[in-house]
């Protein structure tokens, strides 16, 4: 049984989360294929799905919703995370002159209603503000998020790509606790280990979600000299331990005491199964530093 991470007294998520940013990039865009991926997740105790209103220009929530509506017992076996506040430009929005963020009450509530409709569900387990908005009125945004939780449409709220000061500002205007921050962390993006982001959340006691935990696939790019060194280190360790490289790269995140929850993004069911093995692999401290040294390109000082 895969470990779970508690977000509040009523809600927990699986230790590994499945992200749907790339759902519409799969060659097979049928709802049957989505159900296949979801069932693969569930068979491996991965129960939490990460979405956003903008993934696939809205098509990802829609395709996911189609899968949920065709397989009636799926929704209640899953926790759904979605995000809001990025306003994309495009043919659907001819009036938008620039890409922007919007954390106003009207915009957040409108997006939540639209996400609920697209995903054909009547509640979202966890709503995240996708990016810090320089024009955020923390009182208005905080009140709106609290109201959404009180209404039952959203079971918990959190943030993504927030710095500690963004987090503190928003939290200061809220009754409910922000549950988690979803940021970029991987062997190819190690800033959070030293820039205070992980330390801040570790002290607060809230788990941190890691997006692109395999560097969005760049870890496997043999042409990049930095990745090449990392790749050799990770592939040697993987071979010694008899596991896939992705298992090593993910377990490297999971070992951290801040309770990092990786959000994987593969469209390949076989790779989902492999990734789930990372939760049980416990790297030792020396292996962790061997990978860290390869990741930063030098031994630690």
Q: Which residues are catalytic?
A: 55
Question: Contacting ligand NAP (CB under 6 A), which of 19, 58, 65, 207?
Answer: 19
Q: Is 266 in the site for ligand NAP (CB under 6 A)?
A: yes
Q: Is there binding between residue 269 and ligand NAP (CB under 6 A)?
A: no
Pick between residue 19 and residue 65 the one whose CB is nearest to ligand NAP. 19
Nearer to ligand NAP, 21 or 252 (CB): 21
Distance from C-alpha of 111 to C-alpha of 127, rounded to nearest angstrom: 11
Nearer to ligand NAP (CB atom), residue 21 or residue 167: 21
Indicate whether 132 belongs to the interface with ligand NAP (CB under 6 A). Answer: no
**β-sheet bridge partners, residue 189:** 186
Collapsed DSSP state (helix, strand, coil) of residue 208: strand
Candidates 80, 264, 283, 295; binder of ligand NAP (CB under 6 A) is: 264
Our finding on whether 20 is near ligand NAP (CB under 6 A) is yes
Please report, to the nearest 10 degrees, the dihedral formed by the alpha carbons of residues 108, 120, 50, 97 taken in order. Answer: -40
Phi, psi at 209, each rounded to 5°: -95, 140
Which CB sits closer to ligand NAP, 141 or 182? Answer: 182
147, two tokens:
């109201």
22 binds ligand NAP (CB under 6 A): yes
Restricted to residues 271-290, the positions that interact with ligand NAP (CB under 6 A) are 271
Minimum Å gap between C-beta 197 and ligand NAP is 13
Candidate segments 17-25, 119-127, 147-155, 162-170, binder of ligand NAP by CB under 6 A? 17-25
Q: Which of 40, 39, 26, 46 has its CA nearest to residue 68?
A: 39
Q: Which residues contact 292 (CB under 8 A, 6 or more apart)?
A: 190, 193, 300
CB of 132 to ligand NAP, least distance (A): 11
Token pair for residue 162? Answer: 């927030």
**Chain residue at closest Cβ approach to ligand NAP:** 265
Helical H segments across 172-257, by residue range:
197-204, 225-241, 245-254
In this complex, which beta carbon is closest to ligand NAP, that of residue 130 or of residue 155? 130
Question: Which residues from 223-252 bind ligand NAP, rule CB under 6 A?
Answer: 246
∠ CA 254-39-125, rounded to 5° = 65
116: CB partners within 8 A, 6+ apart? 122, 123, 124, 153
∠ CA 99-177-202 to the nearest 5 degrees? 90
Site for ligand NAP in 172-211 (CB under 6 A): 182, 211
Residues that bind ligand NAP (CB under 6 A): 19-22, 50, 160-161, 182, 211-217, 220, 246, 263-268, 271
């Amino acid at each position: 049984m895969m470990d779970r991470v508690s977000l509040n007294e009523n809600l927990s998520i699986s230790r590994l989360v499945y992200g749907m940013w790339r759902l519409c990039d799969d060659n097979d865009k049928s709802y049957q294929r989505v159900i296949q991926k979801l069932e693969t997740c569930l068979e491996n105790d991965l129960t939490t799905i990460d979405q956003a209103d903008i993934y696939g220009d809205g098509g990802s929530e829609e395709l996911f919703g189609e899968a949920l509506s065709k397989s009636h017992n799926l929704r209640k076996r899953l926790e759904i995370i979605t995000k809001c506040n990025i306003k994309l430009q495009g043919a659907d929005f001819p009036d938008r002159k620039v890409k922007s963020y919007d954390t106003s009450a009207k915009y957040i509530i409108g997006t939540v209603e639209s996400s609920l409709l697209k995903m054909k569900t009547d509640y979202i387990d966890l709503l995240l503000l996708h990016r810090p908005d320089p024009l955020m009125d923390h009182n208005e945004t905080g009140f709106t998020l609290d109201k959404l939780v009180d209404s039952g449409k959203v079971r918990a709220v959190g943030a993504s790509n927030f710095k500690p000061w963004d987090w503190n500002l928003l939290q200061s205007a809220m009754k409910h606790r922000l549950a988690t921050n979803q940021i970029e962390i991987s062997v190819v993006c190690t800033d959070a280990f030293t820039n205070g982001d992980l330390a801040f959340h570790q002290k607060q006691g809230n788990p941190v979600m890691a997006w692109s935990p395999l560097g969005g696939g760049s870890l496997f790019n043999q042409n990049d000299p930095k990745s090449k060194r990392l790749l050799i280190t990770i592939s040697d360790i993987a071979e010694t331990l008899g596991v896939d490289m992705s298992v090593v790269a993910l377990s490297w995140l999971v070992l951290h005491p801040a309770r990092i929850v990786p959000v994987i993004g593969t469209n390949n069911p076989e790779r989902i199964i492999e990734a789930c093995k990372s939760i049980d692999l416990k790297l030792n401290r020396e292996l962790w530093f061997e990978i860290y040294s390869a990741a930063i390109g030098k031994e630690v000082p």
